[in-house]
Every structure is written in structure tokens, then in C-alpha cells.
Amino acid sequence: MDLVVLQNGLDNISFLVLFLTMLIYWVGAVFPEIPYWQGLGTVGMASANLCMAALLAARWLEAGYFPLSNLYESLFFLAWGITTMHLIAEKMSSSGLVGVVSSPVAMGITAFATLSLPEEMQASAPLVPALKSNWLMMHVSVMMISYAALMVGSLLAIAFLVVTRGSDVELRGSSVGTGGWRKYELKTGENNNNSENLVALAGRGKTAVIDLVKTEMVAENLSPMRLSLADTLDNISYRIIGLGFPLLTIGIIAGAVWANEAWGSYWSWDPKETWALITWLVFAAYLHARITKGWQGRKPAILAATGLVVVWICYLGVNLLGKGLHSYGWFL
């Protein structure tokens, strides 16, 4: 089997499947009465995930090393990570909301890798001496998966900001900030649980409340449907970021050990190292604010949205400068 031909086919198939999946999620979000749209979206994301996994495996067999040595490989690894995190988040929420924001990002990444990068940047090449180490897989793969998780969590936080625009959303109660699973019923300030009355009351500017076991989500001028949607987005965003942060921590520690082995120093304030630290601090602040400081609603969501920009600078922006110890051409 010609592995190069297989790779060329798989990257195009991945892009096409993700493009169709994105359309399915968007159409389903606009017309939720369409049957089976969420199931079709999940199948599409899973299919794209398998295609990208097969592509990376083919490159591993062809080149003889873990496929994370150039921009093309890292982009597909990142897209694979995003689709993986999408499937995890969708399993948590049992909702197709995640795909509305994650599918276009995964599709855009594969489109850039497949259609924009020149052929010489897509081809496998021998590793430079500094990269001939088992740490290539141990450090870089963990970092890339953490980027994927943090990106998906941040995208959901941005979706939360969009859903709650113009409303001051907050959580109240003993479990504020934890983002744990919450069983709730919808209420208003008039203690009326009828869904029709809820919509009418919220439309008149009454306070809509999700009455939680130990927590309440409160929002002014927000319908119960949007309030429930905001609660789901807030919950899943927190959980996915909570998954990505320890992976980022492990990846940075592994990178420090590899740096000491390769360059004789655990930390050199290289641009990549500096921005990895900034990324860690942003999401550490997000988790600290939610868990210990009781930040709630839009404030932590804005911080997570800022983290999305920081992650992209750390992952790609620093390398565009072509400076620092990590600048192996397009090595990420």
C-alpha cells in the first residue's frame, strides 16, 4: 500500500466529512425539529476522528517516528484532539450544542493544513538531532491534547457569552464555581413552574432562576430555554477546561525535563516556554476564580475566552516569529 497516497486521501476525506458535519450541526441548531441531526453530527465527528487517526498512523509507519515534527502533522493532531474532546463533551452533555462551535474550528484547521500548506511542508522529513528523543511523543502529544481541550472549553465559554449577551448571569449557593453536575427545575421569582408562564414572565423582565440542589443560576431578562442552554454551556466548559489544565501542567513539566536533557537547563525563557507559562497562568486563574473566589457567570467565561487567544499565540503565533530554541522550521 502506498502510504503517501493513503495520507493524501485521508486528509481530503477528513476535511470533507468535517465540512458536512459542520453543516449538519448548524442546520440542526437552527431547525432543531429535524430528526436525527445530533446523531448524524456525532457520527460525522467520530468518522473524521478515525480518518485523522489513520492518517497520523500512516505517517508514523512511513517516517518511523511519532508524527509531530512539522506544522502539517501538528495541525492534524490538534484537529484530532479537538474532535476527541468534542466527543467527550457531547457525551457529558448529551447535546449537539458542542458541535456548533467545535466542528467549524476542526474543519478550519484541516482546511488550512490540506489546502493552504505547500507540498514540501506536508511531506515527512528526517528529524533534526534535537528531536530524536522519546520526549517528542511524551511531551508534544500531551501539550497538543491539552491545547485541544482548552480550545474546546474556551469555545464553549464564548458560546455561553453569546447566549447570555445582554444579561447578567450568576450562580448562587454553596457549590458556586464548582461547575459540577446539577439537577434542577426551572423557577421564577413568582414560584410558578409552568413553562408557558416562565417564558411570559421572563419576557416581562422577571428573574428566571434554575433552582439547583445547592446552587441557583440567576439571569435577568433571559428565557428559561436560554437559561438552561447557558447552564449546560457553563457546566461543560468548566469540565473540559478542568481536563485540559492538568494535561497542560504535565506537558510543561515533561518539556522542562526534556529541555534539561537536550540543552542543559530546565527553563530558558524561550518564547514558547514563556507563552506556555502565560497559558498556564490564565487557565490557573480561571479555575482559581471559579473554585475558591466564587467568580460566576460571565466573568470566568470572559477569562476563558481570553485563554483561547493565548493558546493560539502559544501554539502557532510564537512559531511564526521563527525565534527561540523551539524554532525547528514549523515544529510546534
* Residue range 233-245: mean pLDDT, rounded: 92
Q: What is the pLDDT of residue 72?
A: 87
Judged against a pLDDT cut of 90, whether residue 244 lies above it is answered with yes
Which cell numbers hold the place of 89?
Answer: 463533551
* Residue range 243-262: mean pLDDT, rounded: 89
318 against 316, higher pLDDT: 316
The answer to whether residues 144 and 81 touch, using CB atoms and an 8 Å cutoff, is yes
Q: What is the pLDDT of residues 122-176, one digit of tens each?
A: 777 766 666 677 777 788 889 999 999 999 999 999 998 888 876 666 654 434 4
**SS3 labels along 256-268:** HHHHHHHHCCCCC
Judged against a pLDDT cut of 60, whether residue 325 lies above it is answered with no
Q: What is the pLDDT of residue 231?
A: 81
- Measured between alpha carbons, how far is residue 26 from residues 22, 30, 31, 106 in Å? 6, 6, 9, 14
Judged against a pLDDT cut of 90, whether residue 19 lies above it is answered with yes
Judged against a pLDDT cut of 80, whether residue 182 lies above it is answered with no
- Measured between alpha carbons, how far is residue 57 from residues 10, 66, 279, 302 in Å? 11, 8, 29, 37
The per-residue pLDDT of the chain, averaged, comes to 78
Judged against a pLDDT cut of 60, whether residue 61 lies above it is answered with yes
Q: What is the pLDDT of residue 183?
A: 40
Q: What is the pLDDT of residue 2?
A: 62
Q: What is the pLDDT of residue 185?
A: 40
* Residue range 293-318: mean pLDDT, rounded: 85
Q: What is the pLDDT of residues 269-290, one digit of tens each?
A: 888 888 899 999 999 999 998 8
115 against 106, higher pLDDT: 106
* Residue range 241-268: mean pLDDT, rounded: 87
Q: What is the pLDDT of residue 306?
A: 94
55 against 119, higher pLDDT: 55
Q: Give the model's confidence band at 332: pLDDT under 50 very low, under 70 low, under 90 confident, else very high.
A: very low
Domains of the chain from N-terminus onward: 1-126 (1.20.120), 169-226 (no CATH)
Q: In what order do the strands lie in the sheet with 207-212?
A: 169-173, 215-220, 207-212, 184-188
Q: What is the pLDDT of residues 7-18, one digit of tens each?
A: 778 888 999 999
CA dist 257 and 166 (Å) reads 47
What SS3 class is residue 219?
Answer: strand
Q: What is the pLDDT of residue 224?
A: 64
* Residue range 235-239: mean pLDDT, rounded: 91
Q: What is the pLDDT of residues 184-233, one digit of tens each?
A: 344 434 444 444 443 443 444 444 444 444 445 555 555 666 777 778 88
Q: Kind and range of the H or E element at 214?
A: none
